[in-house]
Amino acid sequence: SILTQKVQWTGARYIQSECVESSCKVWISLDFALHGVLPGVKTFNGTKEIKESWVLVEGNWYFVP
């Protein structure tokens, strides 16, 4: 299955952020490569946009899963 294959991260780009007081929503674009997941295709390259949550606590930013 595709979920058991190794993912190689090939890049990341900042898209935008929206912040309110000490919390931010951040959108990034992740580039990745999957190897040997499709018949006849050695490498599948893709891009996925994700949204992350971050909070500021005592001067330090933390990722909130």
Nearest-10 Cα torsion for 20, 22, 24, 30: 160
Give the residue from 11, 8, 6, 4 showing the smallest Cα distance to 49.
Answer: 11
34-53 mean pLDDT: 86
User: Integer distance in angstroms from the first to the last C-alpha of the chain?
Assistant: 25
For 2-26, how does the pLDDT look when each residue is reduced to its tens digit (9 = 90+)? 555 678 899 999 999 999 999 999 9
The confidence score (pLDDT) of residue 4 equals 56
Map residue 4 onto helix, strand or coil: helix
24-29 mean pLDDT: 97
Is residue 30 within 8 Å of 48, Cβ to Cβ? yes
- What global pTM score does this model have? 0.71
Dihedrals phi, psi of 62, to nearest 5 degrees: -130, 140
